[in-house]
């Protein structure tokens, strides 16, 4: 608890460009959480280097992502928005937790298996212990809740196991985190293959809407979205492409699927796709405008980085010192 509020932690990697899926599925919903929770949102750059990165590019993307958090509506006075690499406690706690994690557990991580298949030229130890670093992120802030996508649930599960194991040995050191199950964010699927999640790393550029796409690009991509030959705007599993478009439409304008079905009854897919594209463009425009304003304001962004970095370090340090003492490291002489 911080000031009587429960603690929430989440993070995103600054690799690739954020998609509409990241926005509607995560970011947009985060904004409403800061009243209820003390929120920490990290740009997890330590995680990013498990895959080879261009340094200048990584730095730029990290700053863009941090700025985008704010542009999307997260108030940096209420939410601690910071770079993971500015808080050395993440790496320090990760080392300690490595010694409380079994190789057998890490071997079972499905994301690790996927990643070594994809990056077979660079199967490094960081890729392997990635879930331990993620556990450190969460436990360092004593987070109660963690909003994550389905693909990260296994990592949250191992975080809980590690925390429980540690507490079993040393007493109640860590809060055991739960996945955040509030009003679930929309799960946005690829526009080219509605059975797959929309991804920032899709090779087909028509599959994903990027947060910075302009209106024309957005409308063009929706025009090309894969649908079916039913010629009916209906919200049902048999029409996954249309179902996905309805979800997107509703996430943008607050309508229910039934209302959308009614609105487009008897009308063609062309009309519908245009309407979806327009509502997406309308939702993204203010975020884009705000982003362009903020990214120019170097002094302001720097002040956010500095102040929130200090705040994160403060809370991280409290947990880290406790853990160091528990495992038997000597106290510092002042
Ligand atoms: N692994 C997460 C992802 O790729 C990002 C992440 C790192 C994270 N640390 C975290 C998410 C802690 C939630 C909590 O999406």
Task: Give the mutation target among 40, 82, 134, 150 for probing the ligand 1 site: most ligand atoms within 8 A of CB.
Answer: 134
Is any ligand 1 atom within 6 A of the Cβ of residue 177?
no
* Nearest alpha-carbon partner for 325 in 124, 80, 317: 317
Is any ligand 1 atom within 6 A of the Cβ of residue 10?
yes
pLDDT at 182 over 90: no
Is any ligand 1 atom within 6 A of the Cβ of residue 180?
no
pLDDT at 183 over 70: no
Residue range 226-248: mean pLDDT, rounded: 96
Task: Give the mutation target among 85, 126, 152, 175 for probing the ligand 1 site: most ligand atoms within 8 A of CB.
Answer: 152
pLDDT at 294 over 90: yes
Rounded (10°) angle between helices 110-118 and 125-140: 140
Residue range 185-208: mean pLDDT, rounded: 91
Is any ligand 1 atom within 6 A of the Cβ of residue 18?
no
Task: Give the mutation target among 13, 91, 126, 131 for probing the ligand 1 site: most ligand atoms within 8 A of CB.
Answer: 13
Is any ligand 1 atom within 6 A of the Cβ of residue 137?
yes
Catalytically active residues, by annotation: 115, 197, 200
**What SS3 class is residue 209?**
coil
The CA distance from 236 to 234, in Å, is 6
The CA distance from 52 to 58, in Å, is 10
Residue closest via CA to ligand 1's atom 9 equals 134
The CA distance from 222 to 200, in Å, is 17
Mean pLDDT of the chain: 95
pLDDT at 88 over 90: yes
> Which atom of ligand 1 sits closest to the CA of residue 143?
14
The DSSP annotation for 266-308 comes to T--HHHHHHHHHHHHHHHHHHHHHHHHHHHH-HHHHHHHHHHH
How many angstroms separate the alpha carbon of residue 313 from the centre of ligand 1? 18
Contact 8, 146 (CB under 8 A): yes
Q: What is the pTM of this model?
A: 0.92
Contact 97, 169 (CB under 8 A): no
Residue range 170-174: mean pLDDT, rounded: 98
Quick: pLDDT tens for 21-56: 999 988 988 998 989 999 999 999 999 999 999 999
Contact 210, 281 (CB under 8 A): no
Contacts of 128 (CB under 8 A, 6+ apart): 106, 112
**Hey, what are 282's tokens?**
């309308």
Is any ligand 1 atom within 6 A of the Cβ of residue 158?
no
How many angstroms separate the alpha carbon of residue 149 from the centre of ligand 1? 9
Contacts of 185 (CB under 8 A, 6+ apart): 24, 25, 26, 28, 29, 147
Contacts of 275 (CB under 8 A, 6+ apart): 249, 264
How many angstroms separate the alpha carbon of residue 65 from the centre of ligand 1? 14
Residue closest via CA to ligand 1's atom 13 equals 10
Quick: pLDDT tens for 120-165: 899 999 999 999 999 999 999 999 999 988 889 999 999 999 999 9
How many angstroms separate the alpha carbon of residue 134 from the centre of ligand 1? 6
Residue closest via CA to ligand 1's atom 14 equals 10
Torsion angle, alpha carbons of 109, 112, 113, 118, to 10? 160
Ramachandran class of 157: left when φ > 0, alpha when ψ lies in -120 to 50, beta otherwise: alpha
Residue closest via CA to ligand 1's atom 3 equals 12
Is any ligand 1 atom within 6 A of the Cβ of residue 136?
no
- Residue 294's CB is within 10 A of a number of other CB atoms, namely 17
211 secondary structure, DSSP code: T
Residue range 266-276: mean pLDDT, rounded: 96
Residue range 213-225: mean pLDDT, rounded: 97
């Amino acid at each position: 608890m911080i000031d009587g509020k429960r603690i929430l932690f989440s993070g995103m990697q600054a690799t690739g460009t954020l998609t509409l899926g990241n926005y509607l599925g995560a970011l947009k919903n985060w904004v409403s959480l800061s009243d209820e929770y003390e929120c920490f949102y990290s740009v997890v750059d330590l995680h990013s280097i498990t895959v080879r990165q261009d340094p200048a590019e990584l730095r730029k993307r990290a700053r863009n992502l941090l700025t985008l958090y704010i542009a999307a509506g997260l108030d940096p006075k209420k939410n601690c928005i910071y770079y993971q690499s500015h808080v050395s406690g993440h790496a320090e706690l990760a080392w300690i937790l490595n010694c409380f994690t079994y190789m057998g557990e890490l071997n079972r991580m499905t994301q690790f298996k996927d990643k070594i298949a994809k990056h077979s030229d660079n199967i490094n130890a960081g890729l392997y212990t990635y879930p331990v670093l993620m556990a450190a992120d969460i436990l360092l802030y004593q987070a109660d809740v963690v909003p994550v996508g389905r693909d990260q649930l296994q990592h949250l599960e191992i975080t809980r196991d590690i925390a429980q194991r540690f507490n079993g040995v040393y007493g109640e050191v860590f809060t055991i985190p739960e996945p955040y199950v509030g009003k679930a964010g929309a799960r946005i699927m690829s526009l080219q293959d509605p059975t797959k999640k929309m991804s920032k790393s899709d090779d087909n550029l028509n599959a994903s809407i990027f947060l910075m796409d302009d209106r024309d690009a957005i409308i063009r991509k929706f025009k090309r979205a894969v649908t079916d030959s039913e010629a009916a705007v209906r919200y049902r599993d048999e029409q996954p492409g249309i179902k996905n478009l309805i979800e997107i439409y509703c996430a943008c304008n607050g309508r229910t699927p039934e209302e959308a079905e009614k609105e487009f009854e008897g009308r063609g897919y062309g009309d519908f796709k245009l309407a979806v594209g327009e509502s997406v463009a309308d939702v993204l425009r203010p975020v884009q405008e705000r982003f362009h304003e903020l990214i120019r304001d170097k002094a302001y962004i720097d002040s956010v980085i500095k102040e929130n970095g200090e705040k994160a370090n403060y809370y991280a340090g409290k947990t880290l010192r406790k853990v160091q003492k528990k495992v038997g490291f000597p106290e510092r002489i002042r």
